Amino acid sequence: MELRNVGRSGLRVSVVGLGCNNFGVLDTEASRKVVHRALDLGITLFDTADIYGNRGGSEEQLGAILGARRKDIVLATKFGMPMDDSGHKKGASRRYIVEAVEASLKRLKTDWIDLYQLHQPDPATPLEETLAALDDLVHTGKVRYIGCSNLPAWQVAHAHWLARESGFSSFVSAQDEYSLVVRDIERELVPALEAHGMGLLPYFPLASGLLTGKYKQDGEMPAGTRLALMKRLSDRYMTEANWRIVDKIEEFCAAQSHTLLELAFSWLAARPQLSSVIAGATRPEQVEQNVKAIEWKLSAEQIAEIDRITRKI
């Protein structure tokens, strides 16, 4: 398994990461099989969040499953989204960050978090307060590196400036949606990451399954799949524009004797800012497919052709 640095930091992660958003929804034994297969295949980045698994379930399962293997991985989690119905347990204030990190450490059964990420912007809290609180966690050793997720490019740049001016630890990564059919971050966020030496950790690399090849525009939705069960996602991804892209890149893949899944992962791996592709799995076989998919090394000509096909006007 290839390892890459996260941006210009010293943190190194496997180029394929395991997204743990399904844990806590899966039973513990099913999650255990996925975790163990990921470890066997050399995956080192395990990405979760306090909110995953019905508020805490994912972290709890990971803590129960990892045991002595905890030291072998880069454990990433997130904070900031609502953890109760009252609206009190959320955000990025110093008060809440101190509470949230202790809760995550307890659920994960660990003394430290390798990458602690702000899950979404908090308009109610000055970013300087958030960075100061996270910097304190780095200095105490409870957190090794910090990152962000779903922040607009201007806020990422502002955070970097604040950290530099105040001497705080700065974000080393940004986790945002990015795939062959969702390329919005290329306009502003990707240049900001490049300018400030941050690594990209894309989520939804398969566009909630659209890029697996199992869906057909005029066919029946496979029973039990995410897009079949969640109309808001099918409405979002199964658009005419996206189907046109999928049809063309499937033709491209067929001509190259590769699958759509392999292209989705390998194209991301070829992006300059990419540190690791965050991909979820509910079965060990899916982990194996994800790891195998990254092996296709695209040429410059192939990348140019895919860019031509997938860029939306």
Residue-level length of the chain: 313
| Confidence check: pLDDT of 224 > 80 | no
| Confidence check: pLDDT of 236 > 50 | yes
What pLDDT shows up at residue 241?
84
Establish whether 52 is a catalytic residue.
yes
What pLDDT shows up at residue 223?
59
| Residue 127, beta-bridge partner list | none
**Percentage of residues in the chain having pLDDT higher than 90:** 81
pTM: predicted TM-score of the whole model, two decimal places: 0.92
- Both tokens of 161, joined, read 């400036």
pLDDT in tens, 163-186: 999 999 999 999 999 999 999 999
**Can you count the helices (H) and strands (E) in the chain?**
12, 10
Q: CA–CA separation, 272 vs 223, rounded Å? A: 37
Nearest to 279 by CA among 193, 177, 143, 151: 177
Sheet architecture: strand order including 45-47: 199-203, 171-177, 143-149, 113-118, 74-79, 45-47, 16-19, 277-280
Domains of the chain: residue spans and CATH? 3-209+260-299 (3.20.20.100)
pLDDT band at 214 (very low <50, low <70, confident <90, very high): confident
Point out the catalytic residue in the list 52, 116, 215, 237: 52
**Percentage of residues in the chain having pLDDT higher than 70:** 94
pLDDT in tens, 113-146: 999 999 999 999 999 999 999 999 999 999 999 9
| Confidence check: pLDDT of 212 > 90 | no
- Both tokens of 41, joined, read 């295949």
What pLDDT shows up at residue 103?
97
- Calculate the average pLDDT of the chain: 92
Residue 234 or residue 61, greater confidence: 61
Q: CA–CA separation, 290 vs 10, rounded Å? A: 25
pLDDT band at 313 (very low <50, low <70, confident <90, very high): very low
